[in-house]
Amino acid sequence: MSKQLFDLALGRRRKARTAKDYRQHRFLAERCALDIVQRLSAVNKAFPMVVNLTSHQSVLADVAGSPKSSLPGCEHYVECDPVSTMLGPNAGDRLLVDDEAVPFAASRVDLFISLLSLHHVNDLPGVLVQLRRALRPDGLLLAAMFGGETLVELRETLAQAEIDVTGGLSPRVSPFVDVRDAGGLLQRAGYALPVVDSDTITVTYKSVRSLMQDLRGMGQTNILNDRSKSPLARRVLDRCEMLYRQNHGTAEGKLNATFEILYLTAWCPHDSQQKPMAPGTAKARLADALRTKEEKL
């Protein structure tokens, strides 16, 4: 068995500790929930059975209203989370789930929604396959997850600060999937018509410490198995603060932090879906449509 990248049990414990004040820090989950509802409003299809894989204390219902009114054709809504205190009140069923085991039978779900959770699973390809199997033919997966540019400023400055102060380096910020890799994962998992697009959000903080405090409040701290078990030394943090201000500070004395959100849209295959034409069957030349000269390789 391959080594696990993340300590998921630690992640659940840390999220449980944030539950009391979590709503003060879930602005990114709220943004993603609204974006997903807007994207679904453009889909001309009903989704009778909807499963939200990450509740965030019922963030979707809080920002968009009742799921049965805000999600197209929703008749049965199930809200899941791996942490019991993150399950909030909603109009549907609530279900405590494992991070990497999808507890639904094959061809049971019309729509899976995932809000900022897929970046912290050890077997992302395996989870995507499980979700595709649980979808009905022509069912939809719509997920928001952190992308590769997330916290790029913190990753760079914290690494440089640790090298400058200690002469060594330990992993402090989780790796994230980039746009191209996400699209490839969906294709390999057997989805049809996969689309991945990116939304970059810049948040300003007064200090590195306030950024880290917000990440703790979100439940998005370092849970890498290879993380250093020692607390971050104050000298390293002070050096990081100085480098961060030099390289990513604003004219107002604030610090910019980037959060890249990848939106994954993919369908369970069905005969009614559009399919690419077989090579050599086109009746018109692309060069003619573009009014340009075709150069042979």
* pLDDT recorded at residue 185: 96
End-to-end CA distance of the chain: 45
Q: Give every CB contact of residue 209 below 8 A, 6+ residues apart in sequence.
A: 237, 241
DSSP label at 23? G
Predicted confidence band of residue 172 (pLDDT cuts 50, 70, 90): confident
Closest CA to 146 of 113, 179, 171, 172: 179
In this prediction the pTM is 0.88
pLDDT at 24: 95
Q: How many residues does the chain have?
A: 297
Q: Is 297 in contact with 191 (CB distance < 8 Å)?
A: no
Quick check: 240 and 169 in contact, CB under 8 A? no
Amino acid (one-letter) located at 26: R
- Cα gap 36→4, rounded to integer Å: 30
Written as one letter, the residue type at 207 is S
Strand, coil or helix: what is 271? coil
Structural domains of the chain, ranges and CATH numbers in brackets:
8-151+175-202+258-272 (3.40.50.150)
- Of 163 and 88, the one with more pLDDT: 163
pLDDT recorded at residue 92 = 72
Q: Tokens at residue 297, please?
A: 């390789």
Q: How confident is the model at residue 227, as a pLDDT?
A: 85
- Token output for 286: 């692309």
CA torsion sign for 126, 131, 135, 138 is negative
Segment 252-271 mean pLDDT = 95
* Cβ pair 146, 116 in contact under 8 A: yes
Output the pLDDT for position 283.
Answer: 67
pLDDT tens by residue, 35-93 = 999 999 999 999 999 999 999 999 999 999 999 899 999 999 999 999 999 998 765 79
Contact 137, 76 (CB under 8 A): no
Cα torsion 202, 37, 267, 148 to 10°: value is: 10
What residues contact 53, with CB distance under 8 A and at least 6 apart?
A: 80, 97, 112, 113, 114, 115, 117
Once rounded to an integer, what is the mean pLDDT over residues 241-263? 96
Instruction: Report, as an integer, the average pLDDT of 253-277.
Output: 89
Cβ neighbours of residue 220 closer than 8 Å, sequence gap 6 or more: none
pLDDT digits (tens, 9 = 90+) for 87-96: 987 657 999 9
